[in-house]
Amino acid sequence: MPPAAADAPADSSVLFRSRVLFLTGKGGTGKTTLGAAIGRLAAAQGRRTLVCELDAQRSSLTAIFGKAPVYQPSQVAPGLSICNIEWMPALDDWLADIVGAGRIVRMIMKNRMISIFLEATPGARDLMLLHRVVKLSQQFDLVIVDMPASGNAVGMLSVVGTSRRLFDTGPIRRCAEEIDGMFARPDTNLVLVALPEEMVVNETLETRARVHAEIPALRQPLVLLNRATPATLSAGERSLLDQLGAQELGVDARELVEAGRWEERLETATAEALSRLRAIAAVVVLPVLARGEGAARVVGQLTAALARQSHAKVDLVGEASG
Ligand SMILES: Nc1ncnc2c1ncn2[C@@H]1O[C@H](COP(=O)(O)OP(=O)(O)OP(=O)(O)O)[C@@H](O)[C@H]1O
Ligand SMILES: [Mg+2]
């Protein structure tokens, strides 16, 4: 059993004190959106910030920032860059690190490394991607890694431990050590994005347990509960809804009561999710926004919501408040 989150931070400020943030969660929970929002806020606070995807075949950042991320970081706003870490150029960079300059030597090494990797190193591709994150974290104040959905992300992160067990010495061992060193840093944090839905909360708890067992170097994760409906109905209003629900009503009144009961269900689901998630981690809550907003606008509104929560005194002119 993972330990309780007794000493976990209780607000979103940990996000902005971090140097590396790994975001994961069930598919569609808002990992990319929240990664972008954290990135925008951190950049507005004056930190040189990078949001990166890992070997994304179809980038989700393009719709948000209006520019497709490529391997080398490119700036999309003051202090904010994006990139897509592809594994082949990441392998090139790693080889340049271990064998130094000399293109021919690197080419020979690369061919040899690719065959060693493919034959002997499970998750070699993942090691290269994470190694590149280590390097980028030395160039930026904050690197936000938009990871795949939980199952794949845990598999990817646990490759480091597997490689350390398989290789006693040599460059792959050193590479895994470097990545593990990054995991163990107090300013590296794992962020699990969840929704107020039972299945998603179940998966978040399972992911937290797997991370605890398989990647011990990573600290207590932080949970972002996205699309939450904050409690606004009083006990009196709830019991009034119950009473009205039991009565014969006209069509208009019935619709109003149904709307109230829908709101009540959403608030209850959020409260239940919060109480289960708080047993394993500190939880930052982000509101559900109106449907039909574009990706960039959703990011803008969630950036403003995060700014309010972290009491950040930043200039977010142009952001709609959430
Ligand atoms: N709080 C919110 N309120 C309303 N819509 C939201 C909210 N957060 C995210 N969205 C929307 O939900 C959709 C999914 O978000 P996003 O792409 O960030 O999820 P994801 O977890 O990265 O998905 P995937 O697993 O496919 O990578 C997007 O259209 C986004 O604009
Ligand atoms: Mg995504």
Q: For the residues 173-198, what does the mean pLDDT come to?
A: 95
Give the single-character DSSP code of 3. P
Pairwise pLDDT comparison (67 vs 259), residue with the higher score: 67
Q: Residue 254 sits in a domain of what CATH number?
A: 3.40.50.300
Q: Is residue 212 part of a domain?
A: yes
**To which residue do tokens 């107020």 refer?**
196
User: Rounded to the nearest whole angstrom, what is the distance from the C-alpha of residue 27 to the centroid of ligand 1?
Assistant: 9
Q: Round to whole Å and give the CA distance between 24 and 32.
A: 9
Give the atom of ligand 1 at the shortest distance from the alpha carbon of 298.
Answer: 31
Q: Is residue 317 part of a domain?
A: no
> Any idea which ligand is nearest the CA of 151?
1
Tens of pLDDT, residues 219-247: 889 999 999 998 888 888 888 888 887 88
Q: Is residue 321 part of a domain?
A: no
118: Cβ–Cβ under 8 A, 6 or more apart, which residues?
124
Nearest CA residue ID for atom 23, ligand 1? 28
Please report the pLDDT score of residue 64 as a whole number.
Answer: 96
Tens of pLDDT, residues 5-21: 443 334 678 888 899 99
Please report the pLDDT score of residue 309 as a whole number.
Answer: 85
Residue spans of alpha helices (H) in 146-294: 150-166, 171-184, 198-214, 235-245, 251-277
Domain containing 140 equals: 13-309
Nearest CA residue ID for atom 19, ligand 1? 30
> Any idea which ligand is nearest the CA of 193?
1
Q: Is residue 4 part of a domain?
A: no
Please report the pLDDT score of residue 8 as a whole number.
Answer: 39
User: Rounded to the nearest whole angstrom, what is the distance from the C-alpha of residue 29 to the centroid of ligand 2?
Assistant: 8
CB 163 within 8 A of CB 123: yes
Tens of pLDDT, residues 153-164: 999 999 988 888
Q: State the angle between helix axes of 103-120 and 87-99 in degrees (0 to 180), rounded to the nearest 10.
A: 120
One-character DSSP codes across 201-215:
HHHHHHHHHHHHHH-
Please report the pLDDT score of residue 5 as a whole number.
Answer: 42
Q: Is residue 322 part of a domain?
A: no
Please report the pLDDT score of residue 101 as a whole number.
Answer: 60
Please tell me the total count of domains within the chain. 1
Give the atom of ligand 1 at the shortest distance from the alpha carbon of 25.
Answer: 21
State residue 121 phi and psi, 5-degree precision: -115, 105
Q: What is the CA radius of gyration of the chain?
A: 22
Helix (H, G, I), strand (E, B) or coil at 28: coil
Model-wide pTM > 0.75: yes
| Candidate ranges 111-120, 175-184, 248-257; pick with highest mean pLDDT | 175-184
How far from chain centre, in Å, is Cα 32? Answer: 7
Give the atom of ligand 1 at the shortest distance from the alpha carbon of 302.
Answer: 1
Token pair belonging to 100: 């130094």
Token pair belonging to 196: 């107020």
> Which residues have any ligand 1 atom within 6 Å of their CB?
27-33, 60, 149, 226-227, 286, 288-289, 295, 298, 302
Q: Round to whole Å and give the CA distance between 21 and 14.
A: 10
Q: Is residue 1 part of a domain?
A: no
Pairwise pLDDT comparison (75 vs 316), residue with the higher score: 75
Pairwise pLDDT comparison (2 vs 19), residue with the higher score: 19
Q: Is residue 299 part of a domain?
A: yes
% of the chain beyond a pLDDT of 70: 86
> Any idea which ligand is nearest the CA of 149?
1
Please report the pLDDT score of residue 12 as a whole number.
Answer: 79
119: Cβ–Cβ under 8 A, 6 or more apart, which residues?
none
Tens of pLDDT, residues 247-277: 877 878 788 888 888 889 999 999 999 999 9
pLDDT exceeds cutoff 60 at 4: no
Q: Is residue 314 part of a domain?
A: no
Q: Round to whole Å and give the CA distance between 220 and 296.
A: 30
User: Rounded to the nearest whole angstrom, what is the distance from the C-alpha of residue 77 to the centroid of ligand 1?
Assistant: 21
Q: For the residues 171-186, what does the mean pLDDT come to?
A: 93
Give the atom of ligand 1 at the shortest distance from the alpha carbon of 287.
Answer: 1
For residue 215, which of 11, 24, 19 has the smallest C-alpha distance? Answer: 24
- Give the environment of ion ligand 2: residues with CB less than 5 A: 31-32, 60
User: Rounded to the nearest whole angstrom, what is the distance from the C-alpha of residue 51 to the centroid of ligand 2?
Assistant: 12
